[in-house]
Structure 1
Amino acid sequence: MSTAFHHVAIIVSDLLKAKLVYGDILGLEQDIRPDLNFAGLFYSLGGGQQLHIMLLDNPDSASIKPKHGGRYRHFALSVSNLEAIKMKLEHNDIVYTQSKSGREAIFFYDFDGNAVELIQIQNNC
């Protein structure tokens, strides 16, 4: 038996704001999404992996989130240019914090309080 990561799903309240974060700022490529009887988006993460954005009522919207997203449930993405993404986050008034692990990584919350970690890809050239 083998296992592999397939997708992560998050809940949002505004698809345009989600597109700003995941499409424009992070540069993810939108993927084909079947009709699921509610609005949403699929983004390709490569290798058959996806991020599913679901426009649904959030049953967890009142949870108290720590300032640093690394202390909250989150998902992590590897990025090739962390500095460029930091500039885009700042331009859109999205606050981020440095990883406490010592890695070249940051955490931020999207407009709906979903915590995201971005890790700089290490170039071993």
Structure 2
Amino acid sequence: MKLQGILHVSLLVADLARARGFYESVLGLAPDPRRPDLGYPGAWYDIGAQQIHLLALPNPDPVEGRPAHGGRDRHVALAVDDLAALRAALDAAGIAYTLSRSGRAALFCRDPDGNALEFIEVKNPA
């Protein structure tokens, strides 16, 4: 057996409309209309050959008390082609972020439900 890759990551959200506002308006993602009725609200977003799944379900984890820097918390790392444009979008939306402490072109922010996201600038994603 050999693992072939990561197909999607699921994130819990308390308020689907608020979460969709972040993922669609700030990050510019479009929802995948093929998401079936799973018995609870949610949204799927295609990112290359992978997806982010938002699940509108109760979150068993505390939102408060998480590390200020998302790199010290569980997080999803996403490739972005223009980190400066992302920073401008986050600034315009009033969303706090921290720069990567490794020195590479990357930043961390949290979505409205406290999920940590890392964005790494990749000029020519594979």
Give your verdict on TM over 0.5: yes
Partner of 2:83: 82
Please state how far the C-alpha of 1:63 moved relative to its aligned partner.
5.4
Gaps of 5+ in 2: none
The residue type paired with residue 44 of structure 2 is: F
Q: Distance in 1 between matches of 2:63 and 2:77?
A: 23
The residue type paired with residue 78 of structure 1 is: A
Please state how far the C-alpha of 1:100 moved relative to its aligned partner.
0.7
Q: Distance in 2 between matches of 1:28 and 1:40?
A: 14
Q: Distance in 1 between matches of 2:101 and 2:52?
A: 25
Q: Percent identity?
A: 46
TM-score norm. by structure 2 comes to 0.90
Gaps of 5+ in 1: none
Q: Distance in 1 between matches of 2:83 and 2:38?
A: 33
CA contact (8 A) 2:63 2:114 kept: no
How many correspondences in the alignment?
Answer: 122
Please state how far the C-alpha of 1:29 moved relative to its aligned partner.
2.6
Q: Distance in 2 between matches of 1:83 and 1:62?
A: 28
Q: Is 1:44 matched with 2:46?
A: yes
Q: Distance in 2 between matches of 1:53 and 1:86?
A: 23
TM-score norm. by structure 1 comes to 0.90
Please state how far the C-alpha of 1:61 moved relative to its aligned partner.
2.7
